[in-house]
């Protein structure tokens, strides 16, 4: 067994357990983007930034700390403008005992609530302009109102 994920805060699990756990977490958090394709060094085609398949907007493609992938928006927004389930932050991973940044991973913000003005990185889904995503956001808001009728 080895330590999995890109940061050392995950428990050590055997492969099937790890995959089941990571897949479930990915579904829960919406980290269902395909893994990033490593660019072929011989490929001279123009590099296009990834875009959303639903609305065509430019998205950022990040690995999560548990080796699944997620599409995030290109800019931070204040936490008050992003529904809790879509709040992420970017963490720079450094090589051990070195200041050199080796990777950036996306982590869902859970547990501690950010202040309303704290910048968070919304999942692209939260800012997606596709009809499906807008409908999803509406249902989300309704559920929140039902849970907290103030």
Task: Please tell me whether residue 52 binds Zn ion under the rule CB under 5 A.
Answer: yes
Contact indicator for 118, 110 with CB cutoff of 8 Å: no
Residue 127 found at the interface with Zn ion (CB under 5 A): no
- Sole binder of Zn ion in the list 25, 54, 77, 114 (CB under 5 A): 54
Rounded distance, CA 46 to CA 48, Å? 6
Q: Quick one: which segment of 15-23, 44-52, 72-80, 87-95 binds Zn ion (CB under 5 A)?
A: 44-52
Measured CA distances, 26 to 3, 33, 65 (Å): 18, 9, 11
Among 10, 13, 25, 55, binds Zn ion (CB under 5 A): 55
Q: How far is the CB of 47 from Zn ion (least distance, A)?
A: 20
Shortest CA distance to 67 belongs to which of 15, 133, 111?
15
Q: State both tokens at 105.
A: 């991973």
The count of residues interacting with Zn ion (CB under 5 A) is 4
Tell me which residues touch Zn ion (CB under 5 A). 52, 54-55, 128
């Amino acid at each position: 067994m080895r330590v999995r994920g890109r940061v050392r805060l995950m428990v050590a699990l055997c492969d099937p357990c790890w995959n089941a756990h990571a897949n479930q977490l990915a579904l829960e958090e919406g980290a269902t983007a395909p893994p990033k394709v490593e660019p072929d060094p011989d490929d001279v085609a123009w590099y296009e930034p990834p875009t959303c398949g639903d609305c065509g907007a430019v998205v950022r493609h990040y690995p999560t700390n548990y080796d699944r992938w997620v599409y995030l928006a290109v800019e931070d927004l204040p936490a008050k403008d992003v529904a809790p389930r879509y709040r992420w932050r970017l963490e720079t991973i450094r090589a051990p005992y070195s200041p050199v940044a080796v990777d950036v991973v996306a982590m869902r913000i859970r547990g501690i609530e950010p202040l309303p003005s704290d910048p968070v990185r919304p999942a692209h889904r939260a800012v997606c302009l596709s009809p499906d995503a807008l409908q999803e956001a509406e249902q989300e808001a309704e559920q929140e109102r039902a849970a907290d009728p103030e």
